[in-house]
Chains A and B, each alone.
Chain A
Amino acid sequence: MEFLIRLIISTLSMAAPLFITAVGGIFSERSGVINIALEGMMLIGAFFGVVGCFYTGSPWLGLLIAVIAGGLFAAIHAVISIKYHSNQVVSGVALNMLASGLTVFLLDIIFGIKGTSENVATIPNMNAILGVVKPAAEAVKQAGFDNRMLLYKALDFSPIILIGIAVVFIAHTVLFKTVFGLRLRATGEHAKAADTLGISVSKMRYAGVIISGILAGLAGAYLSLSLTGAFRKDMSAGRGYIALAAMITGKWSPINAFIASLFFGFAQALEFFISEPVILGVKIPQQFIQMLPYILTMIVLAGFIGKSVSPHDLGKPYVKDEKL
């Protein structure tokens, strides 16, 4: 029982940054803007979360600042790819580079240390918020029954995970059940048609990209304010790209991406429990499990397991008065 709880919580903690970011990516790409800058946006969120917390002293304010920073950072991508019709992949590469350089540069200036920030207050876990105290070991022994211990352990996760799961379902509702979602998807599928129907393509795309930045910022803040309590150089460590993989594997749908993220998170969490899993008598090295998300994405993309098709107008800048 206890093992199961630990496994579920580890899976969720590893998956949370992935599905929050992936849902953000879905908003951006459904509106027709390629977003490979998710990695950089996460990094910016992680950094400004720590900086905000460092100056205000409150991790919740840090979280807010991280989300705002992520949104603003995404706005750069939005302006360059929507207003100036530039190559969205190039802009994304530049943003990732900027994020990785800028955070370390500012880290050096603000904290005066190379590579890692000072420790800041972290966001309290659910058990602390709900006031569930860890029972003393002797009390547990005396009672002979560890219900309270179990409850304590079952609530030992960050509230951001709950926010993230809520975000997944809200995003699903917004995308597929509201007018805004329909318009957003329309601009991504066929911008010209959407424009003809009176939908402002650029407004929808700005919204999509900025939402992606906000969510990536949230995921970044989760990494720095919940998991570690400090910022480390390049701490997103490719999670933005795994989120991209989850988004593609999930066929640009929030709930599918959530499931894919859970699977990738499970693969990552497995490291904590088994150092070298054995399947059919063959030892599987750790690195092959880490490789899994990427290989799975390639397979899904190639169409071996249910073809994943991107929004039709993805990556095409929309020029309003283009003559045909």
Chain B
Amino acid sequence: MLNNMTNLKLSVKIAVIFILAFFLMAAQFTGAVSSAIAGETRWINVSSKISADGSMTREVKLSPDAELLKFAKAEFLGDFPDLIEEKCSDGLVKMTKKFVDLEECVGVLMVQKDLYFTDRYQIRQSLPLYPDEKVMRDIKVRFEFELPNGVIKILKDRKLQSRQLGSQTVNEFTLDHAGNMDLYYQFNNYKPITAVLLAAFLIFIAARMTRRFNFILIPVLAVLIAFFFAGIAIIVIGESPVSAMGAMYEGVFASRTNFLNMLLATTPLIFTGLAVSFAFNCGLFNIGGEGQVMIGGFAAALVGIVGLKFAINPMVHVIMAILAAGLAAGLYSLIAGVFRAKFNVHEVISTIMLNYIAYTLLGFLVVHPWFKENGPNPQTPEIAHSAFLPAFFARHDFNYGFILALVMAVFMWFILYKTSFGFNIRSVGLNAKAAEYSGINISKTIMLTMFISGMLAGLAGSERVMGLFHKYNSTAFVGYGIDGIAVSLLVNNNPLGIILSALLFGFLKTGGSYMNREIGVPVELVVVVQAVIIFFIAADKIVRNMLNVKESR
């Protein structure tokens, strides 16, 4: 009992430190982001009040400089003749214009109805390049938007990339002399990060108290540590971790499209994660996912292309293509299995070599006149429509491959934990010698496992080809196999856990690229986070020491 209490205290301490650290970073940086102003800055204050009926009143306040006035009139007020100009007491000039409805704002603001949420509008504030360098130097623009609460989202342009903001009111731009802008804005949206931290904290406490879910502690803490490092990296480059987290959250949950993007990114990760996990349960480390995904994708594309010449029933065609992908990748992976079983060649080395053999082989095949489409790109022609994996919704590629992935996850769990074949696999993984003495045919088990593992990776390739790209392209398949390793290791290679872990990495990927567009944090941060997670899973002793948890085995 006493021991339990100290454990609990310790875990509370750790969790509190994490939460405090995050909020410290947040508090420090939400206030101070825009404090770095160099030289003599001239301000343009643009405040717009948008009412629920769609009318907008825009006020522009600036110092009375002829060039500046011309610029501000053109960019923020659309050069309308009927704007009111007046001098304020502090020497600034105030220009006011009332727009009757959002239609009239075109040219000043782009307004668009959200495709999925009918009660929302998207507004895009764009700022094209201004030719005069002198005018652009040392200008800062502060945007203020007053919105009817929660109805309107704002999109901004920066270097032709659109940016979507939360429901904020103050946004600042710095214009450099080339007319590029740096965007500073504050994400005061604590909700997502608080929710995530709270959930992690609750899982943590629950696991510590019941002591039945100790296995959850290490993954959760590894993820938290990785996020912590990422937070520090974001601070180092002068952004706020809270706005970064908020941007990731927005990038996944702000609209249905974003959410579907996440699920679409998750699908191949489930397959490649399963591939790694299935082999790992047999004590085999299949890092050949990269090559196997490519081989599977190419096989699926080939079967898909055949449909261009012969009409095939879509149902039959889809199944044929998936089977071909699984079989090709499985056989390819079987090479490593045979080398391991017959020649005792470590599968890590052979799968690395097979990866590179696959790159070069497919690099050759995809430019071969038999398979290459006409044109400059090294890719196959588009596959027949009958081989497309059907999508769930119009206008989005999210497809039934996801369901197949879920089914495979459950099926692999069933095989591993509920059948004698699975029992054999796991016993070879735990202790090959003991398994051999108990009469299990080790080389047969190893070869079959490698075949199934490769097959699962191949399915990822088939889903990409049939559901998303609709052709084989030699550069589009890089990275899924390696990501699968992270996905699988995070949940200790449990097939059911892989669904959750793949969702987490799908979230990181989708949210990460959105965060990159949003606040300019390089998207590679996600790769770093992924690497740190694997580190702390690998060096679980560090985490165990932190938690004071004994090894369960």
Task: Report how far A105 CA is from B361 CA in the complex, Å.
Answer: 31
Contact between chains at B524 and A105 (CB < 8 Å): yes
Which residue on B lies nearest to A104, using beta carbons? Answer: B524
**Is A134's CB within 8 Å of the partner chain B?**
no
Q: Does B348 contact A (CB under 8 A)?
A: yes
Task: Find the residue from B486, B527, B535 having the highest chain A CB count within 10 A.
Answer: B535
Are B522 and A105 touching (Cβ within 8 A)? yes
Question: Cβ of B393 < 8 Å from any Cβ of A?
Answer: no
In chain A, positions 265-324 with a C-beta closer than 8 Å to chain B are 285-288, 290-291, 294-295, 297-298, 301-303, 310
Among A84, A90, A244, A301, point to the contact of B345 (Cβ < 8 A): A301
Contact of B528 among A84, A105, A286 (CB under 8 A): A105
Chain A minimum-CB-distance residue to B353: A294
Alpha-carbon gap, A287 to B287, bound state (A): 22
Interface pair A238/B356, CB less than 8 Å apart: yes
Judged by a CB distance under 8 angstroms, whether A54 is at the interface is no
Q: How far is the CB of B529 from chain A (nearest CB, A)?
A: 8
How far, in whole Å, are A299 and B30 apart by their CA atoms in the complex?
Answer: 59
Given A80-B539, A93-B287, A288-B360, decide whether A105 and B534 contact each other with a Cβ distance below 8 A: no
**Cα–Cα, bound, A29→B525 (Å):** 31
Is residue B343 contacting chain A, with contact meaning CB distance below 8 A?
yes
Most buried by B among A80, A97, A100, A288: A97
C-beta contact mask, B324-353 vs A, less than 8 Å → 1, else 0?
Answer: 000000000000000100010110111011
Given A36-B352, A100-B527, verify A295-B237 contact (CB < 8 Å): no
When distances are taken between beta carbons in the complex, the residues of chain B under 8 Å from A241 are 352-353, 356
Number of B residues with CB within 8 Å of any CB on chain A: 42
Please, how many angstroms separate the alpha-carbon atoms of A248 and B346 in the complex?
11
Closest CB in chain A relative to B132 CB, distance in Å: 24
Select one of A91, A294, A303 contacting B539, CB under 8 A: A91
Please provide the chain A residues from 192 to 236 with a CB less than 8 Å away from any CB of chain B in the complex.
Answer: none
How far apart are the CA atoms of A68 and B190 in the complex, in Å?
A: 41
Cβ of B384 < 8 Å from any Cβ of A? no
Tally of A-B residue pairs with Cβ under 8 A?
121
Q: B535 is contacted by which of A80, A101, A294 (Cβ under 8 Å)?
A: A80
Q: Across the two chains, which residue of chain A brings its CB closest to B348?
A: A89
- Given the complex, which residues of B lie within 8 Å of A85, measured CB to CB? 541
- Interface size, chain A (Cβ < 8 Å): 42
Query: Is the CB of A127 closer than 8 A to any CB of chain B?
Result: no
> 1/0 per residue B399-441: CB within 8 Å of A?
0000000000000000000000000000000000000000000
Chain B residue at minimum C-beta to C-beta distance from A287 = B364
Residues of B near A95 (CB, < 8 A) are 531
| Chain A residues whose CB sits within 8 angstroms of the CB of B345 once the complex forms | 298, 301-302
A245, B339: Cα distance in complex, Å:
16
What separation, in Å, do the CA atoms of A238 and B352 have in the docked complex? 10
- Say if the beta carbon of B202 comes within 8 Å of chain A: no
Task: Please report the C-alpha to C-alpha distance between residue A286 and residue B364 in the assembled complex, in whole angstroms.
Answer: 8
Residue in chain B with minimal CB distance to A100? B527
Interface status of A2 (Cβ within 8 A of chain B)? no
Alpha-carbon distance between A90 and B542 when the two chains are bound, in angstroms: 15
Asked whether A166 is an interface residue with its Cβ less than 8 Å from the other chain, the reply is no
Are B538 and A297 in touch, CB under 8 angstroms? no
**Contact partner of B542 among A36, A84, A297, A302, CB < 8 A?**
A84
Measured between C-beta atoms, what is the minimum distance from A306 to chain B in Å?
A: 13
Q: How far is the CA of A51 from the CA of B75 in the complex (A)?
A: 40
The reply to whether B356 and A98 contact each other, CB–CB distance below 8 Å, is: no
Instruction: Give the docked Cα–Cα distance between A262 and B9 (Å).
Output: 60
Most buried by A among B237, B352, B525: B352
B522 touches A297 (CB 8 A): no
- Least CB distance, A308 to chain B, in whole angstroms: 9
B146 within 8 Å of A (CB atoms): no
Complex Cα spacing A97 to B541, Å: 21
Within 8 A of A (CB), among B494-553: 522, 524-528, 530-532, 534-535, 537-542
Are A84 and B527 CB-contacts (below 8 A) given A90-B534, A287-B364, A298-B339?
Answer: no
1/0 contact trace for A96-132 toward B, CB 8 Å? 0110111011001100000000000000000000000
Q: Is the CB of A285 within 8 A of B364?
A: yes
Inter-chain contacts of A58 with B (CB < 8 A): none
Cβ-based interface call for B363 (8 A): yes
Which one, A89, A91, A101, contacts B530 given CB within 8 A?
Answer: A101
- Whether B109 is near chain A, meaning CB under 8 Å from some CB there, is no
Contact A97 B539 (CB under 8 A): no
Write the nearest CB–CB distance from B296 to chain A, whole angstroms.
19
Interface contact A104-B522, CB-CB below 8 Å = yes
Q: A180–B354 Cα gap in the complex (Å)?
A: 36
> Are A109 and B527 in contact, with the CB atoms below 8 A?
no
Interface membership of chain A positions 51-86, coded 1 if the CB is closer than 8 angstroms to chain B and 0 otherwise: 000000000000000000000000000001000111
- A109 contacts B541, CB within 8 Å? no
Q: B534, A297: Cβ atoms under 8 Å?
A: no
B531 touches A101 (CB 8 A): yes
Check B356–A90 contact: CB distance below 8 A. Answer: no
Across-interface contacts of A98 in B (CB, < 8 A): 527-528, 531-532, 535
A301–B338 alpha-carbon span in the complex (Å): 12
Minimum CB distance partner of B520 in chain A: A108
Is B285 on the interface with A (CB-CB < 8 A)? yes
- Is B489 an interface residue, CB under 8 A from the partner? yes
* Given A101-B525, A303-B343: A245 in contact with B531 (beta carbons within 8 A): no
Nearest-CB distance from A165 to chain B (Å)?
Answer: 26
Q: A242 vs B343: C-alpha distance in the bound complex, in angstroms?
A: 21
Task: Given A86-B538, A241-B352, A241-B356, check contact A93 B482 (CB 8 Å).
Answer: yes
CB-based contact B522/A108 at 8 Å: yes
Residue in chain B with minimal CB distance to A90: B538
Residues on the A chain within 8 Å of B526, using CB: 101
- Give the residues from 203 to 260 in chain B that come closer than 8 angstroms, CB to CB, to chain A: 233, 236-237
Query: In this complex, what residue of B is CB-closest to A94?
Result: B534
CB <8 Å contact, A294 and B356: yes
The answer to whether B531 and A302 touch across the interface, beta carbons within 8 angstroms, is no
Is B357 interfacial (CB 8 A cutoff)?
yes
Contacts of A94 in B (CB 8 A): 531-532, 534-535, 538
Point out the residues of chain B lying under 8 angstroms from A287, CB to CB.
Answer: 360-361, 363-364
The 4 closest A-B CB pairs, nearest first, are A101-B527, A98-B531, A287-B364, A94-B534
18 contacts between A and B (CB under 8 A): A36-B348, A36-B352, A90-B489, A97-B527, A98-B527, A98-B531, A101-B526, A101-B527, A101-B530, A105-B522, A108-B522, A109-B522, A287-B363, A288-B364, A294-B353, A298-B350, A301-B349, A303-B343
Given contacts A90-B489, A298-B345, 8 further A-B contacts (CB under 8 A): A36-B348, A80-B538, A84-B539, A89-B348, A90-B534, A101-B524, A244-B349, A297-B349
